[in-house]
Amino acid sequence: MVTRVSNLLTTRSDSFTAYVVVQGWRNVGTPWPELVVQRRAALVLDRSGSIPGGSNNSVLSYSVPTK
């Protein structure tokens, strides 16, 4: 999984966008799996206020409307 997203991530910026898709499936492992629910989210993450090695390592996150 890490190799699939490694080319999409960077540590050279203090702000970046994360897109998340969560799926719920029924009858997984059978010949008839069924997608029950799917949710999407987008977040803007800002770590410009954190100091490497410091005690303030908080990351601000802002939710982005997806619809």
Closest Cα partner for 10 from 41, 18, 43? Answer: 18
Q: How far apart are CA 27 and CA 25, in angstroms?
A: 7
Do the beta carbons of residue 20 and residue 44 sit within 8 Å?
no
Predicted pLDDT of residue 66: 77
> Does the pLDDT at position 1 exceed 60?
no
Q: What confidence tens digit (pLDDT) does each residue in 9-66 have? A: 666 778 888 899 999 999 999 999 999 999 999 999 888 777 666 666 678 888 888 7
0.85 exceeded by pTM: no
Burial 18-38 (b: 16+ CB within 10 A, else e): eeeeeeeeeeeeeeeeeeeee
Helical H segments across the chain, by residue range: 2-5
Give percent above pLDDT 70 in the chain: 69
